[in-house]
Chains A and B, each alone.
Chain A
C-alpha cells in the first residue's frame, strides 16, 4: 500500500507540479544542506499552507530531538494520491530533505522511507507546493 502510494505520488509529480509554493523554497530551505533523519512520527498536521509531520529522533547518546517536517499543501498531496492518514503517529520513518535556513529543527521532506524499506516520494515546497 505504502509502496503503491509512493509510486503514485512520484508519478503524479510530472502531472501536477507547479513552479513554486506560496513562498520561495530557497528563502526558507537550503538545498545545499541535505539532511537525513530517522525517527518516530509523533504528530501529523493536515493543514495549510503545508501539511507537516513531526518525528522524534534519538542521537547516539539517547537524547531525543523533535523535528518539524514540511510537506506540500493538503490539496496538492490529495491530488498526488495522499490522504490525511498516509502518515500516522507511531510510524518509523527516515526522511530525506533540506534543512531550514533558520537553524530550527525543521526541514522540508523530499523522500520518506518507511520501516519496511518502502521509499515514498513526499511532495514538498521544493517541488512546487
Chain B
C-alpha cells in the first residue's frame, strides 16, 4: 500500500513543488491502490498531442470526459471581444436582490445552460458508430443528471413545458456541433453572481474539438425578457483522459445553505 501510493506521488512529481515536500518523496514502482483507481489522475494518461478524433464516417468525435466549458463564477468571464451584457431594468433589479444562499446550485439543483459545474462530464453519442440520433451530456455534478440532444433532425415541439435543461436539437456544421435549446424554466442562475434569465431564453451552443484535449464552446445567449440584446461567450473544456464519472448525490448531506451569507457575487 505504502509503496503503491508512493508511486502515485512519483508520477505526479511535476506538481510536488507546490507541497514543499518534494525532497522527502522517495520513488517506487508499483501502481497505487485504494486511491481512486481509474480516477486517480496519476494513472490517467496525459492528453496526446493529436488532432481531434473522428468517427468512421468522418464525423468529429466529441466523446470523452471533460471538465469546464461554461461559466461557473461569472458569465462575463467568457464574453467574446466586443460583446457586452446589457440587463433590462427588471432583470438588473432581480440580480441585485439575489442572495448567495438562494443560488439553486448551492441547493443541489441543476446548472441549466450554459452554466457548468466544476465537476467532470461526459459526452456520449448513440449509436456510437455512424450517424448519432442522440447525444447525451452526462453530468457528475451538479446534480448527477444529463442533457439529451436530439440529432435526428426533429424540431422543437410547440407544446414544450419549461424545464431546467430545455429542449435541445443538434446538427453539425463542418467541425462544429451546433445545439439549439429552448423551453427553459427561469429557475437556474447563469453563475455565482446571479445573472438571471426568463423562459424566453434561447441558447445556441457551438462545440468544436480543436484538438484531442480541447473542446471549445461558443454560446450565444438570447433572452429578450432579461437582456437588451444577445451576447456570445466562449469557454473551453479540457479532456480528462482515463477518468470515469463518479457518483455525486449533492443533496445527500447539504449543510451549506444554512451557513451561506450575503448577496450573490460575494
The chain A residues found within 8 Å of chain B, CB to CB, are: 1, 3-8, 10-16, 18-24, 26-28, 45, 47-50, 52, 68, 73-75, 78-83, 100-102, 104, 106, 121, 128-129
Contacts and interface: CB of A to CB of B under 8 A. Distances in A.
B154 interface: no
Contacts of A78: 35-36, 39, 246
A27 B100 contact: yes
A20 B73 contact: yes
Given A78-B246, A101-B259, A52 B253 contact: yes
Is chain B's binding surface mostly helix, strand, loop or mixed?
Answer: loop
A13 B106 CA distance: 23
A79 B260 CA distance: 27
Interface in B59-87: 67-68, 72-73
A75 B256 contact: no
Nearest to A9: B19
A23 to B, nearest CB: 4
B248 A68 contact: no
B73 A24 contact: yes
B251 to A, nearest CB: 8
Contacts of A27: 100-101, 106, 192, 260-262, 264, 266
A8 B15 contact: no
28 contacts: A1-B1, A5-B5, A5-B35, A6-B19, A8-B5, A8-B35, A10-B15, A10-B16, A11-B13, A11-B19, A20-B72, A21-B118, A22-B108, A22-B117, A24-B73, A24-B106, A24-B265, A26-B266, A28-B261, A48-B247, A48-B250, A49-B251, A49-B252, A50-B255, A50-B256, A74-B246, A81-B36, A129-B118
A45 to B, nearest CB: 6
Nearest to A75: B246
Most A-side CB within 10 Å, residue of B1, B141, B254, B262: B141
B213 interface: no
Interface in B31-67: 32, 34-36, 39-42, 67
Contact of B259 (A22, A104, A121, A129): A104
Interface string B216-254: 000000000000000000000000000100111111111
B10 to A, nearest CB: 9
Interface of B: 1-2, 5-6, 8-9, 12-13, 15-16, 18-19, 21, 24-25, 32, 34-36, 39-42, 67-68, 72-73, 100-101, 103, 105-106, 108, 117-119, 140-142, 192, 243, 246-262, 264-266
A23 B260 contact: yes
Contacts of A16: 41
A3 B22 CA distance: 12
Contacts of B35: 5, 8, 78, 81-83
Given A8-B12, A27-B100, A47-B253, A22 B106 contact: yes
A100 B249 CA distance: 23
Given A4-B25, A22-B118, 14 more contacts: A4-B2, A5-B5, A20-B192, A24-B266, A27-B264, A48-B250, A50-B255, A75-B39, A75-B140, A75-B141, A75-B246, A83-B35, A102-B258, A129-B118
